[in-house]
Chains A and B, each alone.
Chain A
């Protein structure tokens, strides 16, 4: 029950953060130099047309009044019209967001598995050449930006070996599965379209690896040191003395307490993935939200920028709450106290 009230507080806090974030981004895009209406309509549009658009968007009113209008719309589920695509921003976002979510989801899955594996291997062979090689390797991986990895991967596997596709989410020759979740892999599975599933996997594997590598390397270190520390704990020695086999101790009694620290930082990883996603999406022509957001920022597309930032903020906060729940599952001291 303690934990429920903790969760409620977390959600309330997240709502406050979202409100603050919306005010901040709302102000920033409006004080940036340049007239969004003029940018949207082009140099040849008449003064009257520009003024008319400015009026429609309440651009000549004071900031608080503009914000009031915007909030009124948001509460009705409308994020306004994009000045660039001329569509409802929420429609644009619902088109681009799933691609980014799918990418980040795969990156997070790869990261979580590989770093546990590396952490276990590093602990099992701690202070041998295996562990040292992993250590050096992870330093490199941490220090290399995601887009450099992306370029390398696509050069090697895309251009030279030609084993993986270089752009997009699905080959044009493959019949796309009907959209349910927007995550092509999931939709393909739902509709039983295995050709599409495999093709989507082939498309997502390189960008996902590029995106996950930095955080993965860092967390492998955290998992490794957390496991090695716990290995010296009294309770592990006692469990051995009780005759519980090493396999059970390592994969159960040692792994669970050792996951608490690395899972706690997963929220931060995903935040940095959402940030890094832009470059990776650019390299792999991945039609995701980051690309859309950057394009919108360059065009001073007020509603689109505000909408994108808000949605990414929402995703980030949701993921953090999920991380908290996972940590609480792993650590009863958090859950029950």
Chain B
């Protein structure tokens, strides 16, 4: 059975476009990915490739217009979110928690931390009709769980009175407070100091293990991916180029883009200048109809620019979308 079939959460052939004055940008092009229960999944790609757009569609904050979901499905625990409305949609969304990128911009500056946290709890548990006292209790507990010192006092602090790391803890608490099953973290540590990054990552890992959560973590930090995730999806200009277990991907990258990505990382540190591949992400307005990496690829062939490579299975969970590879039955013991 493949990752997709047993998944708690999966995106299938998602196409998202932006209708702008200068034309339509077909940003996401047949994006598919899956997260199983308890899995830590990474989504990697350079800036502008559509990682945050993917996140926004999933948590329901894509600005429409200019955004438009052209086609695709998003399945969560057996239901297609994109076909739901109103209360049922809100119920499913409540099971997906968001950890945003920039903690300083993600908390409302004119409300106390506790106000927003209590509202997040009240509405995500709205079927339980919690009393104000119970909500407050839950708020304090979850702030304590994320290691925020003096939770009671911090409830009445304003965001500007907290450090960046504390704000991120509060946001993680807000996500956890809804009792989600899946977390989506969009660059959860990029805006933080290096020392704080470590703490926040540890905190997230602990919460995930304790609560047996799944996580989709979006980043361009390959060191973080290597350390944190079980499986990875590599995205280039709105297309998924390659996916596989983190170990396979780092040991045996197949897609020319993945190879370039890994080659640009200094080997010992696992950190450093990402994306040393010559060129830039193509303008979506004039994106090739085939493989979008073709203008920058050193192995490009004639079919590449005009024909979109299908995702094919190489081995185990290792899949690649590139015309250099052909599906081979004997490499695919689990197929069928």
A87 interfacial by beta-carbon distance below 8 Å: no
Choose one: B60, B160, B178; the contact of A333 (CB below 8 Å): B160
Q: Are A237 and B160 in contact (CB under 8 A)?
A: no
Contacting residues, chain B, for A242 (C-beta < 8 A): 98, 116, 119-120, 123-124, 174-175, 178
Known contacts A243-B124, A332-B158: A248-B61 contact under CB 8 Å: no
Q: Are A244 and B61 in contact (CB under 8 A)?
A: no
Q: In chain A, residues 282-337, which have Cβ atoms closer than 8 Å to a Cβ of chain B?
A: 330-333, 336-337
| Listed stretches B32-40, B103-111, B271-279, B290-298; interface member | B103-111
Which residue of A has the minimal Cβ distance to B161? A336
A75 interfacial by beta-carbon distance below 8 Å: no
A48 interfacial by beta-carbon distance below 8 Å: no
Q: Are A241 and B123 in contact (CB under 8 A)?
A: no
Q: Are B60 and A240 in contact (CB under 8 A)?
A: yes
Q: Are B123 and A243 in contact (CB under 8 A)?
A: yes
Known contacts A248-B123, A336-B158: A238-B171 contact under CB 8 Å: yes
Contacting residues, chain B, for A238 (C-beta < 8 A): 61, 98, 100, 106-107, 171
Q: Are B61 and A331 in contact (CB under 8 A)?
A: no
Q: Are A253 and B109 in contact (CB under 8 A)?
A: no
Bound complex: CA A238 to CA B109 (Å): 13
Q: Are B119 and A244 in contact (CB under 8 A)?
A: yes
Which residue of A has the minimal Cβ distance to B104? A234
Q: Are A331 and B105 in contact (CB under 8 A)?
A: no
Q: Are A235 and B105 in contact (CB under 8 A)?
A: yes
Q: Are A241 and B108 in contact (CB under 8 A)?
A: no
B4 interfacial by beta-carbon distance below 8 Å: no
Tell me the minimal C-beta distance from A233 to chain B in angstroms: 7
B317 interfacial by beta-carbon distance below 8 Å: no
Contacting residues, chain B, for A333 (C-beta < 8 A): 109-110, 158, 160
Tell me the minimal C-beta distance from A229 to chain B in angstroms: 13
B89-112 CB contact bits vs A (8 Å, 1 = yes)?
Answer: 010011000101010011111111
A257 interfacial by beta-carbon distance below 8 Å: yes
Which residue of B has the minimal Cβ distance to A127? B65
Contacting residues, chain A, for B171 (C-beta < 8 A): 238
Tell me the minimal C-beta distance from B116 to chain A in angstroms: 7
Residue among A234, A240, A244, A333 with max Cβ neighbours from chain B (10 Å): A234
Bound complex: CA A239 to CA B118 (Å): 12
B7 interfacial by beta-carbon distance below 8 Å: no
Bound complex: CA A244 to CA B174 (Å): 11
B59 interfacial by beta-carbon distance below 8 Å: yes
Which residue of B has the minimal Cβ distance to A242? B120
A256 interfacial by beta-carbon distance below 8 Å: yes
Contacting residues, chain A, for B124 (C-beta < 8 A): 242-243
Contacting residues, chain A, for B59 (C-beta < 8 A): 240-241
Which residue of A has the minimal Cβ distance to B184? A241
Choose one: A237, A330, A336, A337; the contact of B61 (CB below 8 Å): A237
Bound complex: CA A232 to CA B66 (Å): 13
Which residue of A has the minimal Cβ distance to B98? A241
Q: Are B61 and A240 in contact (CB under 8 A)?
A: yes
Bound complex: CA A332 to CA B160 (Å): 9
Q: Are B107 and A235 in contact (CB under 8 A)?
A: yes
Bound complex: CA A233 to CA B158 (Å): 17
Contacting residues, chain B, for A77 (C-beta < 8 A): none
Bound complex: CA A335 to CA B101 (Å): 28
Q: In chain B, residues 237-275, which have Cβ atoms closer than 8 Å to a Cβ of chain A?
A: none
Bound complex: CA A336 to CA B102 (Å): 23
Q: Are B174 and A256 in contact (CB under 8 A)?
A: no
Contacting residues, chain B, for A232 (C-beta < 8 A): 63
A33 interfacial by beta-carbon distance below 8 Å: no
Q: Are B116 and A253 in contact (CB under 8 A)?
A: yes
Q: Are B110 and A243 in contact (CB under 8 A)?
A: no
A64 interfacial by beta-carbon distance below 8 Å: no
Q: Are B160 and A239 in contact (CB under 8 A)?
A: no
A222-238 CB contact bits vs B (8 Å, 1 = yes)?
Answer: 00000000001111111
Contacting residues, chain B, for A253 (C-beta < 8 A): 108, 111, 116
A245 interfacial by beta-carbon distance below 8 Å: yes
Bound complex: CA A237 to CA B63 (Å): 9
Choose one: A235, A237, A248; the contact of B119 (CB below 8 Å): A248
Binding site for B on A (CB under 8 A): 232-245, 248, 253, 256-257, 260, 330-333, 336-337
The contact sample of 24 A-B pairs, CB cut-off 8 A, is: A232-B63, A234-B102, A234-B106, A235-B106, A235-B107, A235-B109, A236-B108, A237-B100, A239-B108, A239-B116, A239-B120, A241-B60, A241-B100, A242-B120, A242-B123, A242-B124, A243-B90, A243-B178, A244-B116, A245-B90, A260-B110, A330-B110, A333-B160, A336-B161
Known: A242-B175, A245-B123, A257-B108. 14 other contacts (CB 8 A): A234-B106, A235-B105, A237-B56, A238-B100, A239-B119, A240-B61, A241-B100, A242-B123, A242-B124, A243-B90, A243-B93, A330-B110, A332-B160, A336-B161
List the 4 closest pairs (A to B, CB-CB), nearest first: A234-B105, A241-B59, A241-B98, A237-B61
